Amino acid sequence: MSFQVVRPPVGVAPLLKAEGVSLEYGATRATHDVSFDVYRGDRFVLLGPSGCGKSSLLKAAAGFIKPSAGRISIDGKTVEGPGADRIVVFQEFDQLPPWKTVKENVVFPLLMTKRLNKQEAEQRALHWIAKVGLGGFENAHPHTLSGGMKQRVAIARALAMQPEVLLMDEPFAALDALTRRNMQEELGRLWEELRFTLLFVTHSIEEALVIGNRILLLSPHPGQVRAELNSHQFGLHSAGSEEFQAAAQRIHGLLFGAEPSRDGAPAAAAPDSDRSAAL
Ligand SMILES: Nc1ncnc2c1ncn2[C@@H]1O[C@H](COP(=O)(O)OP(=O)(O)OP(=O)(O)O)[C@@H](O)[C@H]1O
């Protein structure tokens, strides 16, 4: 199977742009010279092995950490810190304050923006709680919910803020396989309806193919761009198909540089400097 080469849309400016981003924690370099463009409506996936700096890139896009070199911008403006235009959904189930009900969890950040009054915020919260299938659980506390339901609350809370970019850091990684699949389906359904812009981190090749329309492959630590792929043709509908399996295998080869060729000999991975060469 072959991937389409990524070509930027003609005449459209990216919504989120990472330019030569290096991230460091003291002496530890997490990423080196990473560049990518996310366009409005993209489901853009950062994929790479553990420790390659995916979460760090997401945190930098969220404004939680600053690049040691390069820059990240939204609509041309350099990201200098967190903002309501970028909301993060994390993997951890404890991202919801446990003393607040489902409704209060969704309402709270809306009130913090000071753009809505209490009644408007509650109305909007109820709308989003229903949208993620949690109607009837508005007054429940997080500890009474399953892991999947907690992630639904986190998604409702994020989408209610109507961010420019929804940032998701392995949001389904701690869920059992069946719930994870349901949540991937749910996210796809929400995207079909709302067409929000998504930056999604995962180390699962299958999840990247199911969720993303574009995938950035990062090399092992420190993360550098290995390749960029279009993957819009894949989804849960195609998971398990021959083409899907071939794509997953191809990505594995690109990531780890040992893609088995037809005759069984390892083939070279995409060179960092030429993203399209191996696609
Ligand atoms: N707060 C921190 N302090 C020091 N080093 C850190 C910190 N956070 C991450 N690192 C280091 O930066 C590198 C990238 O980590 P990061 O969590 O971004 O990778 P990742 O690709 O998201 O990994 P995983 O898939 O395991 O979550 C790793 O070497 C990690 O040890």
**Domain annotation covers residue 81:** yes
Q: Does the C-beta of 46 come closer than 6 Å to ligand 1?
A: no
| Percentage of the residues of the chain whose pLDDT score is greater than 70 | 89
Separation in Å, CA 3 to CA 41, 148, 234, 279:
20, 32, 11, 5
Question: For residue 35, what pLDDT is reported?
Answer: 98
Indicate whether 22 pLDDT > 70: yes
Show the DSSP H helices in the chain as ranges: 54-62, 102-112, 118-131, 147-160, 177-194, 205-211, 242-256
Which of the residue ranges 84-93, 139-148, 259-268 would you say has the lowest mean pLDDT? 259-268
With 80 as the cut, is the pLDDT of residue 279 above it?
A: no
Give 255's contacts (C-beta < 8 A, 6+ positions apart): 47, 48, 49, 205, 217, 219, 226, 269
* Residue 171 lies inside a defined structural domain of this protein: yes
Q: How far apart are CA 58 and CA 211, in angstroms?
A: 16
CA of 90 to the centre of ligand 1 (A): 14
Determine the distance separating the centroid of ligand 1 and the alpha carbon of 223, expressed in angstroms: 10
For ligand 1, whether the C-beta of 241 sits within 6 Å is: no
Distance 43 CA to ligand 1 centre (A): 23
Cα(222) to centroid of ligand 1, in Å?
Answer: 9
- For a substitution probing ligand 1, which of 21, 22, 23, 28 has the most ligand atoms within 8 Å of its CB? 28
Counting the structural domains of the chain, the total is 1
Distance CA 5, CA 29 (A): 29
Residue 159 domain flag: no
Q: Do residues 102 and 137 lie in contact, with contact meaning Cβ atoms separated by under 8 Å?
A: yes
**pLDDT single digits (tens) 189-221:** 999 999 999 999 999 999 999 999 999 999 998
Asked if residue 130 belongs to a domain, the reply is no
Range of the structural domain that residue 55 is part of: 13-85+165-177+199-244+253-258
Arithmetic mean of pLDDT over the chain:
89
261 ligand 1 Cβ < 6 A? no
* pLDDT at residue 8 in the model: 66
| pTM for this model (two decimals) | 0.89
Which value does ipTM take for this structure?
0.97
The answer to whether residue 265 scores a pLDDT higher than 60 is no
Cα–Cα dist 273/126, whole Å: 48
Across the range 23-33, mean pLDDT stands at 96
Yes or no: say if 132 and 153 are a contact pair by the CB < 8 Å rule. yes
Please give the pLDDT value at position 264.
35
Within-domain flag for 55? yes
Cα(220) to ligand 1 centroid in Å equals: 11
Question: What is the number of the ligand 1 atom nearest to the C-alpha of 23?
Answer: 12
In angstroms, what is the span from residue 53 Cα to ligand 1's centroid? 6
Q: What is the DSSP string of 93-153?
A: GGGS-TTS-HHHHHHHHHHHTTSS-HHHHHHHHHHHHHHTT-TT-TT--GGGS-HHHHHHH
Residue with token string 């195609």: 238
Q: Is residue 62 part of a domain?
A: yes
- Cβ–ligand 1 distance for 203 under 6 Å, the answer yes
pLDDT at residue 6, rounded to an integer? 62
What average pLDDT score do residues 232-248 get? 89
At residue 258 the predicted structure's pLDDT band, cuts being 50, 70 and 90, is low
pLDDT at 3: 58
Answer yes or no: is 51 within a domain. Answer: yes
Q: Which residue's alpha carbon is at the smallest distance from atom 26 of ligand 1?
A: 50
Residue 233 lies in a domain: yes
- Can you give the CATH number for the domain in which 25 is found? 3.40.50.300
